Chains A and B, each alone.
Chain A
Amino acid sequence: MQRRPFLLALAAPALLAALGSSPAAAQAEKPIRIGMTVASAGTFALQAQSGSRGVEVWIDDVNSRGGIEIGGKKRKVELVKLDDRSDKALVPRVYETLIKDEKVDLLFGPFGSTLTSTAANATETAGKFMVIWSASADSIYKQGYKYIVSATQQAGSLLGQPPVRALHALGVKKIAFAYLDEPFPAALTQGAIDLAKQLGMEVTMDEKFAKGTKDFNILIQKAKASGAEAFYPTAYEGDQMTIARQIRESNADFKAVVLFYASQPQFLQQAGKDGHYVFSETLLHDKINWKVTQGLNRAQMVERYNKLFPDAKFPADFQTALAYGAGVITEAIIKNAQSLDAAKLKDAAVKLSGKIVTVTGEYQIDETGKQFKNEFAVIQTLPNGLEVVYPPAVATAKAVYPVPPFAKRN
């Protein structure tokens, strides 16, 4: 665990804000301490760090407004970040450290379903409230956990459905699925398969692959041989870059390809032409602008991000937005609960369902904490940039379908 640099980095906004106000006032009210883990390395590092910057944008905003009012007194927010190195075996221990040693008041989940499912065991055992900003696997919300809430991340079984609806509307009848054998890709794909079948589409392939798979060539050929018009493989960014390259190299001309992360800045930067005409999903695009009821809107959030992180390697992405939105929801929950007690926070979270719109959309949960709204929009990467192609209400262009064969592309 690399605690010291993380603690220094995370505390900077809160410390600066505290120095700006009178020392007496800063000492008067104890800050609300929020703990979370962020991977410095491994599979989830990129997304975890994008998300962590989103939380810091929220903290900067909330502290610039004097903090959150509890019992008539404003309390600033302090973030305590520790490193989980994308290691699910390490996560429970680090969350225990946050709770027992760092004595945080409440927690934010780590990135992704794989890590969050293990973090939830630790937070529930300690009776602490945990705000989830990225874990979508439905299985997490079936465990009977009392103190978890997915503030912005839609349930995995729903998350993969917008592209299926979009493809169905475009006339796709046969679709092949492949997914990394981990909770998030598995949940997303299962939901997408269920919807495809409901819509009368033929699922020509449903195959999972193990973590560490380096070569997807045969998998792509199997999808092609299955007669699929559309191919929908789901994994994390590195695997998706390889898949995009290998689809192009093997001249596998599907009418449409869906890669969940293909509109992320990192993917666009690294994949280049491999990503052209690929369909993907996002919550953050300059043409997706929700009328927010709480917190900053998209443009304001991006502006604050750029101000706080001028040297960040990548611009704000949808992980940033999910985590920022989760911070906004957390603020509303604490204000309504007027307490940091886990049961009271959960109660307030459920009562707020359907009443908040943040940068990522509408907030709607059930008693298990599962998120039903915050639906992603479908993006297509065209050679001249990204366009929103679904749902029609926010679409900025008509989807290119079928996509041009590789032989006819520049």
Chain B
Amino acid sequence: MESLVLNGLINGLIVGGVYALIGLSLTLLYGVLRIVNFAHGEFVIGGSFLAYVLFNSLGIPPLLALPVAAVSFFAAGWLAYYLLIPRLARSDDPEIMSFLMMYGMSIALAAVMLLMFEADSRSIDYAFKPISMKVGPIYVSTARIVAFGVTVVISAALAWFLYRTLPGKALRATIMNREAIQIVGVDVEKLSAFAFALATGIAGVTGVLIALVFPAFNAFSGAEYSIIGFIVVVLGGLGNPIGALIAGIIYGLAEQLATVFLPQALAQIVGFGILVGTILIRPTGILGWRAQR
């Protein structure tokens, strides 16, 4: 049992790190733009497919696919922002319209991936050497260790960016009070485009990591990651990046440890239990108070 618990803790931490990245990008988007991005999971799976194509067509290993995904998804996000979001702002209720538009976008993106890659599951036949490493009494996949390392680096870089740089502080200020920051002369339009592009870039990178951590994916896997992202965002506090990081880890640990002690079929219920419990007990999320200040 001890090794199972240890397994649950280590894998919970790793998987939680990936969930944290999904939640982090989703919460950034919501915080800055007030957009509930139903298509976020599809962006993530788009990253997985990019890694798949790069590996199978050009022999580029997943680690090298990370910067490619970051740059290409950032650029795609920037373009998508100017194509879609300013039109939303002209509607009577931009927040509700964003719901509908992003839901449509989610269906459209899944359909495009279906067209390109067909319906069967894909897997990148790539293994690190050694394929696993011994951590105490258990073996942990090298791919997972690498994915966790990348998650830590990205999270640290984002934290530094958000808390130590002027654009990062401006982003956080926008999350806190979008109107006030305009008064002091910040170009919110450009900042919003940057936030959208940044969130999309992180989603692309997360997709590459997902291809390493959960080997099989298909055109319709995105919805599952969107749901996980929403749970993490609610748990961490809407629009709170640090909250999302903590919530991702909590969710990953809860999911994995639930599998140790409960039948696997019940593990998914734990995730939704966390969502419902958070809404009932602490609707602002675990770090919601900071967002309220």
Contacts and interface: CB of A to CB of B under 8 A. Distances in A.
A251 B139 contact: yes
Given A178-B264, A215-B11, A39 B119 contact: yes
Given A214-B224, A217-B11, A249-B144, A272 B125 contact: yes
Nearest to A42: B220
Interface stretch (B67-75, B93-101, B158-166, B211-219): B211-219
Interface in B1-47: 1, 3-4, 7-8, 11, 15
A213 B122 contact: no
Interface string B158-191: 0000000000000000000000000000000000
Q: Is the interface of A mostly helix, strand, loop or mixed?
A: helix
B119 A239 contact: no
Contacts of A338: none
Contacts of B11: 215, 217-218
A16 interface: no
Contacts of A49: 119
Interface string B192-230: 000000000000000000000111111110001000000
A212 B109 CA distance: 20
Interface in B208-256: 213-220, 224, 255-256
A137 B278 CA distance: 39
Contacts of B131: 248-249, 251, 406
**Size bin of chain A's contact surface:** 35 or more
Contacts of A266: 120
A218 B8 CA distance: 7
B263 A270 contact: no
Interface string A232-252: 000001110110011011110
Given A46-B119, A238-B218, A251-B132, 15 more contacts: A41-B220, A45-B119, A208-B263, A209-B264, A210-B267, A213-B264, A213-B267, A215-B255, A219-B259, A242-B216, A249-B132, A249-B139, A249-B142, A270-B123, A274-B125
Interface of B: 1, 3-4, 7-8, 11, 15, 110, 114, 118-123, 125, 127, 131-132, 138-144, 213-220, 224, 255-256, 259-260, 263-265, 267-268
27 contacts: A41-B220, A42-B220, A45-B118, A46-B119, A209-B265, A210-B265, A212-B268, A213-B264, A214-B214, A214-B224, A215-B15, A215-B213, A215-B214, A215-B259, A218-B7, A221-B7, A222-B260, A225-B1, A225-B3, A225-B4, A238-B120, A239-B216, A241-B215, A245-B123, A248-B131, A249-B132, A270-B120
